[in-house]
Structure 1
């Protein structure tokens, strides 16, 4: 029994390969198209036969005959279909090992039943439209003619060359990382790169690339997800092994400590955040840090350069520039006088210090002895003089801006009888 035939039409000149599906095909000895015998046929299985149509006209019934008798008939039409015409092939060359996907363009290819590279069938093919077919080249050598067969016949041939080209080799990429947004230029080095036709980052094609020489390619990275991908290059000889490229997220700063320091710079600031590996610069406003150390992906230490006012600290990585964290430069405090200027050797005398830049005072020293103190305003601090030996002692205040000049306080011994 025959259930279907594919294709159900072919050229009046015959030669169209058809596939019959049905049942009980094992002992088939004859295949007829109407009264005409098929010039050749193959019993593929108990449910499938392939046969070549003989010349004919109109609509005939295909039957098969075996030891059990003759099957039902299925209709097959001889139609005057123009032979397909091929006008182009791209690419027109590939490696001897095959596997290259080529695009064939022309006309009348909609009903293609075969694509051949010379006498060898394509590994696979897909009819895209009446004017285009994609096919995977089988292994081969030299230059062959690619043809397409349809019910209308076999097309003219277009030349395809098998190239004994080396497989491209990639050895390195520089830089080895870039932003997730892509768009940065990288340089690939290796060998056998002359005929490269594609560069991919993971599964994504480079935005563009230029073959500089047999050992170098420049490419623009496409956007990608944070993390590593393999860059590969494909040429007539095949596809290279990969070199690792990292997509880096935009860095983020979440904190800085301390957030103030002297205008002269020199303060070591600890920055915390995310995606800080690969940092190439730390800036305090427009000025680069005197030095910096990347401790981890979440921490950097940097030495503040000289500056003034409040500036934004930012870090720069291959992933971009971070948000800013404010940092304030504090002027060195100045003392102009104190009152009273003397007191007993015992502790407890309240001394008022006058000057400027005193708001952020964090220490008051009488000599080397700390005093308890209260910041009243930017020009006024009160302190309790600590006990000490009789005589003069230098009083200083310290802020994030540094240590002030000194003013003299004199301890006076109590009179004795």
Structure 2
């Protein structure tokens, strides 16, 4: 006499279907010593019921006018507990792999990033991985759903890929040291600014502006690249290094 599903939340509330024979006139379904609710005799071979609360493994029995069946196992599962996720941010385009660590994750069926959900891959009871779905820029709550329930408590930040519109001033000495304002969008989470591939110290002013100090470089035009967690933006030949005068 199979039962489906054969596991559910320790808080109860799982709708289970029991299949067998001689089930007409079912008067009770019990999970261990506790009675199920909303018992419905669907047919002579099928009964549905909602599990009561419980813990661990219990035997499920069906009682009819003809007697009580042998028990079949049902496993109570606690709600998942999430400890951490990594990385904590990624592109609004989604697709980045996020690792979630915690306990009770072996039956995870869904991970929601705000209003958008994705199906995870179970690594172990303590870890799952999931490809972040696409989302709008900003922070969203992350919830994991398992046979034991749903747990919230972590957040993930969607980051828009940067753009660069202007670099001001557009030239400076090869010795470096020029303070430059890079204007664009998606600059709040800037992680790096380079001039001709050389890293520059920078300060985020706003989502549309970053201040950087040029490193030393070779005379000529170089690309200015701004990078954040979602990707990079390249302003081709946007800054020109000018050699000092020679006498």
Superposition TM-score tier, normalisation by shorter sequence: 0.7 to 0.9
Tell whether 2:227 aligns with 1:372: no
State the partner residue of 2:39.
209
Q: Which runs of 5+ in 1 are unaligned?
A: 1-169
Is 1:307 aligned to 2:142, yes or no?
Answer: no
TM-superposed CA distance for 1:286, in Å, is 1.4
Please name the residue that 1:288 is paired with: 117
Paired with 1:350 and 1:375, the residues of 2 have a C-alpha distance of: 13
User: Number of residues paired by the alignment?
Assistant: 245
- The equivalent of 2:189 in structure 1 is 360
Over 3 Å counting, the alpha-carbon distance change for 1:370 and 1:292 in structure 2 is: farther
Give the aligned partner of residue 228 of structure 2: 399
Aligned to 1:11: none
Cα offset, 1:389, TM superposition:
4.3
Q: TM-score, normalised by structure 2?
A: 0.81
2:165, 2:71 → 1: CA distance?
Answer: 70
Deviations 1:306-338 (A, max 9, x none): 222332111222222212423222233232222
**Aligned-pair CA distance for 1:362:** 0.5
Listed as ranges, the gaps of 5+ residues in structure 2 are none
Query: Quick one: higher RCO (CA 8 Å, sep 6+), 1 or 2?
Result: 2
TM-score by length of 1: 0.51
The whole-number CA distance in structure 1 between the counterparts of 2:186 and 2:35 is 59
Q: Residues of 1 paired with 2:214 and 2:85: CA distance?
A: 35
Paired position in structure 2 for 1:181: 11
Identify which of 209, 213, 223 aligns with 2:53: 223
Structure 1 residues 246, 368: closer, same or farther in 2, change over 3 A?
farther
Compared CA separation, residues 182 and 387, structure 1 to 2 (3 A): same
Aligned alpha-carbon RMSD (Å): 2.9
Instruction: Give me the whole-angstrom Cα distance separating, in 1, the residues matched to 2:38 and 2:186.
Output: 57
Q: 1-side partners of 2:22 and 2:40: how far apart?
A: 14
Tell me whether 259-268 or 381-390 shows the greater mean CA deviation.
381-390
> Relative to 1, partners in 2 of residues 1:174 and 1:389: Cα closer, same or farther, differing over 3 Å?
same
